[in-house]
Structures are given as structure tokens and as C-alpha cells.
């Protein structure tokens, strides 16, 4: 298999951390070849990559039979199927559904808001987002803070995003909030979200947090 990744981008990072939490950082040992795709250089829009990922999205996982998975959650689901332990997506339909709900909430309402804010307000992202709409980006920055405050409340009553144990939803939350910290200068503790700040502080102790 070939795993197409781009350094420091949040969606590829989610897959990288997922692999690390699975104990699969040695990709060669699990028959995965890493291929770097530079978003900054526009490699994701070149014909050879578009043939694999028609919407120019990274990451992508090319299977041995030639099929390609191009959505982060789909890639993680496939890897979970190949390597079920440690379980990160739920045991049984009931837990699986609630973990998926938590993960989708973070992806759609937190990570997407952060991405839209950054892509439309940060000058360094202008080449990737034409035209930029700064007012829209600013509004998304406010909306993501509403979601972050909700998450702060959730973490006041449970240790992890989806409940009592670490799951894929925590990986999505960490990558989203790290993206916001770096390019939005978002620090939860400075904005009255102590539980979210404590959660992030604990995250920094996980070895997988060093995956970029």
C-alpha cells in the first residue's frame, strides 16, 4: 500500500497520529510506503496525483489492488479493520455509533470552522484559497469558539471527547486545536476554557503528539 501524506496539514496528521496510537509508526513493517505530497508546492493538483485523488485531497491510501481511499475517516476505518487493537473506533455498534458521532461533531463543527477561518484570513493560505473572504473567515473563527466552549463543557464531566476512553475523536480534536493554536493563536485557557486547556496539556504528554 502507499500512503500519500503532506507534512503539518491537519488531516494527514490525523492519520499519522492514528497510526502512532495503533503502534504502527514503522510503516514498512505493515506494508505501507509513505509518499510525501507537498500542498505548498501544488503537488496535490498535479495530474498524477489527481488520477488517484480527483478532488485533490490529502491524505490518500492506495491499496494493493489499485483502489484509493481519500477521506481521513475512511482511511482510519480501513486501518482499524486491518489492525483492530488497540481499538479506537468502538466495540460493537452501540459504542461505535457514539464515537462516530463525537468524531463527526469535532470534524464538521470544530475542525471545519478552524480551517475556514484560517484559509480565509491568513495571508499565507491565500494561494490555496482564491478568492479569500476575510469577513466569512472571521465569522468562522467566532463559531469555532462556540464549539470549543461546548467541548470545554463536555470535558468538565468526562476525560475524553467521546466519553471515558481515548478514541479517534480525540485525535481529531487534538489536530484541530493544534491547527488553531498555530495559525489562529487560539489558547483555550486564555479564553476561559480551563477544561479544554487541561485536556490539551495532558495530550502533550502522549508520544503521538510529536507526530507532525
8: left (phi over 0), alpha (psi -120 to 50) or beta: left
Domain segments of the chain as ranges: 2-82, 92-210
Instruction: For domain 2-82, give the fold.
Output: Glutaredoxin (3.40.30)
Tens digits of residue pLDDT in 77-96: 999 999 999 999 999 999 99
pLDDT, residue 128, reads 82
**Cross-strand partners of 78:** none
| Topology of domain 92-210, CATH | Glutathione S-transferase Yfyf (Class Pi); Chain A, domain 2 (1.20.1050)
Three cell numbers written together for 46: 498535479
The secondary structure element, H or E, covering residue 17 is helix 10-21
Summarize pLDDT for 173-209 with one digit per residue, the tens.
999 999 999 999 999 999 999 999 999 999 999 999 9
Biggest CA pair distance of the chain: 50
Predicted model pTM: 0.96
Amino acid at each position: 500500500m502507499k500512503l500519500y501524506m503532506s507534512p503539518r496539514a491537519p488531516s494527514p496528521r490525523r492519520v499519522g497520529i492514528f497510526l502512532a496510537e495503533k503502534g504502527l509508526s514503522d510503516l514498512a513493517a505493515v506494508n505501507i510506503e509513505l509518499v510525501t505530497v507537498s500542498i505548498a508546492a501544488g503537488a496535490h493538483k498535479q495530474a498524477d496525483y489527481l488520477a488517484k485523488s480527483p478532488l485533490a485531497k490529502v491524505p490518500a491510501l492506495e491499496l494493493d489492488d489499485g483502489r484509493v481511499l481519500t477521506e481521513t475517516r475512511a482511511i482510519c476505518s480501513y486501518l482499524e479493520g486491518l489492525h483492530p487493537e488497540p481499538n479506537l473506533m468502538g466495540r460493537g455498534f452501540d459504542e461505535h455509533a457514539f464515537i462516530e458521532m463525537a468524531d463527526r461533531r469535532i470534524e464538521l463543527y470544530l475542525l471545519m470552522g478552524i480551517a475556514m477561518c484560517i484559509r480565509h484570513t491568513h495571508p499565507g493560505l491565500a494561494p490555496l484559497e482564491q478568492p479569500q473572504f476575510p469577513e466569512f473567515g472571521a465569522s468562522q473563527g467566532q463559531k469555532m469558539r462556540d464549539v470549543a466552549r461546548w467541548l470545554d463543557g463536555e470535558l468538565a464531566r468526562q476525560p475524553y471527547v467521546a466519553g471515558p476512553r481515548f478514541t479517534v475523536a480525540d485525535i481529531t480534536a487534538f489536530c484541530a486545536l493544534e491547527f488553531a493554536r498555530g495559525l489562529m493563536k487560539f489558547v483555550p485557557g486564555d479564553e476561559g476554557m480551563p477544561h479544554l486547556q487541561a485536556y490539551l496539556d495532558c495530550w502533550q504528554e502522549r508520544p503521538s503528539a510529536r507526530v507532525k
